[in-house]
Chains A and B, each alone.
Chain A
Amino acid sequence: MTDKLSKTQDAPAKGTVPMVRAQGVHKSFGHVEVLKGIDLEVKPGEVFCLIGPSGSGKSTFLRCINHLEKINAGRLYVDGELVGYRQQGDKLYELRDREVAMKRRDIGMVFQRFNLFPHMTALENVMEAPVQVKGASRSQAKERAMQLLDRVGLGDRAGHYPSQLSGGQQQRVAIARALAMDPKLMLFDEPTSALDPELVGDVLDVMRDLAESGMTMVVVTHEMGFAREVGDSLVFMDGGVVVESGNPRDVLTNPQHERTQSFLSKVL
């Protein structure tokens, strides 16, 4: 983990390649246009928060980053490479499933509803991808998985099935599972929205710890406190467009746009 971190921390010094770059990203489901031209940049090592009312397109945008959704127009790059396509000249070629899978290895994702594999124990959940995707040996993967479970404070729950864990514990296992692939980017899709209020804190602690270790994170969230304390950048989305962006402390305390003001007045 540590050598991995130093690499990501070097990156900004080295250069100009943003971890995520969106240029005029459009996405429609049938006739409903969900994203109407998103432009933004996530710098390496940054905690990037996306806030906004439900239906504003923030989760959809997040899912576009690892190609769970295909975009209809614009360009989306992760670490300088086009997501889901290969460009040769002015022609775009769709990537094969195998190539898409290859790129997803480097992008961890945490879901609102955890989506742990219910037929595997916590330990097996964390070991699954390294063994099956990266071809790591079971013993190596197990050792690493135990480290990660310890890190999220669940070393003693390794043998439990997801149904035997609380929501907060499941979400922390899900974070450990994503980290097991040593991603360079972590996507969080409202990771605390499905949790009892008293369990939210544990998950946010793990995310805070992860942010301090230098992980690049894109976080869709309703936790304004987390955004203010941990976030490096913040974007307020509404109706499929970016309404306002900037430093979280500025935007949250002194929103410029009227729509942001009315949203925050209801949430805070």
Chain B
Amino acid sequence: MTDIDKTAEPADTPVAGAEAIKAIPVRHYGRYVAAVIAIAILVAIIYAFGQGKINWNAVPDYFFDDRIMTGVSKTLLLTVLSMLIGIVGGILLAVMRLSKNPVTSSIAWFYIWFFRGTPVLVQLFLWFNLGLVFEYINLMPFYKDYWSNFMTPLLTALLGLGLNEAAYMAEICRAGLLAVDEGQTEAAHALGMSHSKTLRRVVIPQAMRVIVPPTGNEVINMLKTTSLVAAVQYPELFRYAQDIGQNSGAPVEMYFLAAAWYLIMTSVLSVGQYYIERYYARGSSRQLPPTPWQKVKANMLSLGRPKGAVGA
């Protein structure tokens, strides 16, 4: 392989004595026009907000307010727990859908059809209002209580978000499992590995490469979707920001504040996702891309050296 590459390479270097190309590049006037328009619109928006009576000081004043901090932690808690329900449920549903048992696979199909086909806000309200039709809950020998004691706002939120998420995660997991080459399963079976071991040691680690990126997106999505549960009386970041805004007379400022917190959290999650993706990419590409920190180090080492000297 490498030998062939080497022999092919000299073709790219110009023949000695040949005239170098010095051409006048094409001017893309359309790009200048587009840039000017975009900047003009941006300036107009900034100017408009400058004209608005926005009390920007309210944002830093309340940024680390106790209620906001509680809201942030509850938003994170809700995200983590709902995703946990979503991932566990999603794996279960994916396995059910891929199983050879027609009963389990059709039940999984039906679940996904229902939960993906209805808006999550409708599902949240449905869980929230089940108390209107059920007086108490009775899990025969284990648990018995009034419905209103059982279905707390937290449980409503978790069921609404988690069960909905499970349907999406199921499709992500299924796609990941199907993306692994059949030859991998055959090779593992030929070595005498059982079905479960093949799945655990060979198929799932490779499926993860396909599963992780969309799952990261789902986490970020979930973090934002948690703001919907304000509608079912569970207080989290958005709800607290709204409350403060109404009491302090600075509602718009508090929405900016909430947006800033959501941005901070989603940005941190994106960084985490990058490293997880990198971990599961091992073996799939010849050279892993450097981490940002490695890039910084490499750049510092290359300071003072001519550009291009650090090839690797």
- Chain A interface (Cβ < 8 Å from any Cβ of B): 66, 68, 97-98, 101-105, 107-109, 111, 113, 115-121, 128-129, 132-133, 161-164, 166, 174, 177-178, 181, 196
Contact = CB atoms under 8 A, between A and B. Distances in A.
Q: Which of B189, B190, B192, B202 has the most CB of A within 10 A?
A: B190
Interface in B169-194: 181, 183-184, 186-194
A134 to B, nearest CB: 8
A68 B192 CA distance: 11
Interface of B: 1, 181, 183-184, 186-195, 197, 201-202, 205-206, 280, 282-286
Contact of A129 (B181, B193, B205): B193
Contacts of B194: 97-98, 101
B285 A133 contact: no
Contacts of B205: 119
B191 A178 contact: yes
Contacts of A181: 191-192
Contact of B193 (A107, A111, A132, A178): A132
Contacts of B283: 118-121, 161-163
Contact of B189 (A101, A113, A178, A196): A101
B282 A119 contact: yes
A133 B193 contact: yes
B191 A104 contact: yes
Centre residue among B201, B206, B280 by max chain A CB count within 10 A? B201
The 9 nearest A-B residue pairs measured at CB: A105-B192, A115-B187, A129-B191, A109-B190, A115-B183, A161-B283, A104-B192, A119-B283, A133-B192
Contacts of B195: 97
B191 A128 contact: yes
Contacts of A132: 193, 197, 201
Given A68-B189, A101-B192, A129-B192, A161 B282 contact: yes
A174 B184 CA distance: 12
A128 B186 CA distance: 15
Given A119-B206, A161-B283, A133 B190 contact: no
Nearest to B192: A105
Given A119-B280, A163-B284, 11 more contacts: A68-B190, A98-B194, A104-B189, A109-B190, A113-B183, A118-B206, A118-B284, A121-B283, A163-B286, A164-B286, A178-B190
A25 B193 CA distance: 26
Contacts of A162: 283
A115 B19 CA distance: 50
A108 B183 CA distance: 15
Contacts of A98: 194
Nearest to A116: B187
B190 to A, nearest CB: 4
Given A128-B191, A129-B192, A132-B197, A117 B184 contact: yes
Contacts of A121: 283
B45 to A, nearest CB: 47
Contacts of B206: 117-119
Nearest to A68: B186
Contacts of A119: 205-206, 280, 282-284
User: Of B192, B194, B197, B283, which is in contact with the most chain A CB atoms at under 10 Å from its CB?
Assistant: B192
A97 B193 CA distance: 10
Contacts of B181: 115
A66 B195 CA distance: 15
Given A133-B197, A161-B282, A115 B184 contact: yes
A117 B282 CA distance: 12
Contact of A111 (B187, B197, B285): B187
Contacts of B183: 111, 113, 115
Nearest to A168: B1
Contacts of B190: 66, 68, 104, 107-109, 178
Nearest to B205: A119
